[in-house]
Amino acid sequence: MELLRVNKISKQYKKIKAVEEISFTVKKGEILGLLGPNGAGKSTTISMISTLIRPDAGEIYYADTNIVDKPKVIQESLGYVPQEIALYPMLSGKENLEFWGRAYKLKGKALKDKIEEISEIIGIKERLKDKVKTYSGGMKRRLNIGAALLHDPELIIMDEPTVGIDPQSRKHILDTVIELNKKGMTVIYTSHYMEEVEYLCSRICIMDQGKIIAEGTKQELIERFDSSRDIKLKLENYTDAVLEKIKALECVISVDTKEDLIVVKAKQDKNLFKSIIDLLNDNGVDIHSMDIDEANLETVFLQLTGRVLRD
Ligand SMILES: Nc1ncnc2c1ncn2[C@@H]1O[C@H](COP(=O)(O)OP(=O)(O)OP(=O)(O)O)[C@@H](O)[C@H]1O
Ligand SMILES: [Mg+2]
């Protein structure tokens, strides 16, 4: 079932086209990833969905209502985790959660129980009474997420929630996202870390320069945009004739020698490795090592834009 439909939304800041006619849908119960480099328009896109800024054009439907005109329809069901940490450093973690809880009209025992539950989820229970200014970057990030969970949102939108934190907190946040999703929460997850998006997301929109340049599951994206593999071989007793035979295999695109490495570029094919190994065995060639470059979204992005995803 479709929960959200974004239809050709655009946003321009003076001369900068931050977002240009972006369309996508979010299904109920999925984790949708928005992957893109700095300045791709990720934050602008989700700020429009979160009704913090109004698109210049286009519609955003949440449960069949255009929330550009009726923002209230989404506000109560939405948890928004901003890219910039929005906490009061002089207050404790608990007081911060109380503040946000009251903003969502929670009070008394309901608020207390909710804070208990959330501090368990985000793993800051022991530090709840300490001032936020004494927290590590990772703990602040986790509390930032906690603040967006107080009202049991149906949809949570996270804007790069793991930037600049330690690996442990990062893992904790990724696990939290998966747990929340298992409990039925729909998630939009923004990141420029392809590993995170690959790990978490059932579907991925790749963004660049204000546009969505590709959309699909990781597997679909790889099959569509990066169907070739580099296989690096170290061989002994081989001849040019053997290399010619490898080249003649149906799925092989090219064979190059780089110092002591033979680099075979080939299309993805389930018999690829077997054919190469059989051929080498039949010709009495010894295989010292075989290294395969795994396909990933980094190479998909490179194929699409000619640039690397990393800063
Ligand atoms: N308030 C603003 N005023 C002017 N330009 C803006 C504003 N907000 C964003 N932009 C510009 O719009 C473009 C998209 O920015 P946005 O913050 O949406 O990208 P992003 O994908 O979230 O990047 P990052 O990964 O760095 O957070 C950028 O060129 C940015 O400089
Ligand atoms: Mg951003």
Q: What's the CATH code of the domain at 217? A: 3.40.50.300
Which among 224, 227, 239, 231 is positioned nearest to 275, based on CA atoms?
A: 231
Q: Which long-range contacts (CB under 8 A, 24 or more apart) does 307-310 make?
A: 307/37, 309/35, 309/36, 309/37, 309/192, 309/194, 310/37
The secondary element (H helix, E strand) that includes residue 252 is strand 252-258
* Max CA separation in the chain (angstroms): 81
Q: d(Cα 135, Cα 146) in Å, to the nearest integer?
A: 14
Of 139, 104, 102, whose CA–CA distance to 123 is shortest? 139
8 Å CB contact between 85 and 138: no
DSSP 7: E
Q: How far apart are CA 174 and CA 89, in angstroms?
A: 24
- pLDDT surpassing 60 at residue 17: yes
Q: What angle do CA 129, 132, 134 make, to 5 degrees?
A: 95
Residues with CB under 5 A from ligand 2 (ion): 42-43, 83
Domain assignment of residue 305, yes or no = no
Write out the two tokens for 299. 């190479």
Same domain, residue pair 216 and 233: no
Does residue 233 share a domain with residue 187? no
Residues 93 and 216 occupy one common structural domain: yes
H helices of 85-239, in order, are 93-103, 108-121, 137-147, 167-182, 194-200, 218-225
Q: Which of 206, 223, 240 is the last residue of a domain?
A: 223
Residue 162 lies in a domain: yes
| Structural domain total, the chain | 2
72 within some domain: yes
Same domain? For 217 and 98 the reply is: yes
Ligand lying closest to the C-alpha of residue 53: 1
**Residue 225 pLDDT grade (very low, low, confident, very high; cuts 50, 70, 90):** confident
- Residue 301 within any structural domain of the chain: no
pTM, full prediction: 0.87
Provide the CATH number for the domain around residue 236: 3.30.70.100
Q: How far out from the chain centre does Cα 74 lie?
A: 22
Which among 42, 46, 305 is the best mutation to test ligand 1's pocket, defined by most ligand atoms within 8 Å of the CB?
42
Residue 155 lies in a domain: yes
Question: What are the structure tokens assigned to 196, written together?
Answer: 């995170």
183 and 42 within one domain: yes
Helix (H, G, I), strand (E, B) or coil at 215: strand
The C-alpha atoms of residue 252 and residue 116 are separated, in whole angstroms, by 58
Q: What is the residue-wise DSSP string for 96-123?
A: HHHHHHHHTT--HHHHHHHHHHHHHHTT
Tell me the pLDDT band of 311, cut-offs 50, 70 and 90.
low
269 token code pair: 């094919």
Determine, yes or no, domain membership for 79: yes
Mean pLDDT of 33-49: 96
Q: Are residues 210 and 114 in the same domain?
A: yes
Helix (H) or strand (E) holding 45: helix 42-49
- Same domain? For 244 and 99 the reply is no
Residue 306 located in a structural domain: no
CA of 130 to the centre of ligand 2 (A): 29
Locus of tokens 């286009």: 58
Query: In the chain, count of helices (H) and strands (E)?
Result: 11, 14
Q: Domain span at residue 234?
A: 227-294
Closest CA to 24 of 43, 44, 10, 5: 5
Q: What pLDDT does residue 223 have?
A: 85
Residue range 69-90: mean pLDDT, rounded: 93
If phi over 0 gives left and psi between -120 and 50 gives alpha, with beta otherwise, what is residue 129? alpha
- Give the pocket of ligand 1 (CB within 6 Å): 13, 16, 18, 36, 38-44, 83, 192
* Residues 231, 203 within the same domain: no
Calculate the dihedral angle through the C-alpha atoms of 269, 274, 277, 281, rounding to the nearest 10 degrees. -140
Residues 214 and 247 in one domain: no
Same domain as 178, residue 111: yes
Please identify, among 203, 223, 243, the residue that sits at the C-terminal boundary of a domain. Answer: 223
Residue 304 lies in a domain: no
Same-domain check for residues 169 and 253: no
Average pLDDT, the chain: 93
152 with 72, same domain: the answer is yes
161-212 pLDDT tens trace:
999 888 999 999 999 999 999 999 999 999 999 999 999 999 999 999 999 9
223, 246, 261 - which closes a domain: 223
The string of pLDDT tens digits covering residues 91-111 is 999 999 999 999 889 999 999
* pLDDT at 303 (0 to 100): 85
- Out of 12, 13, 56, 158, give the residue to mutate to test ligand 1, the one with the largest number of ligand atoms within 8 Å of its CB: 13
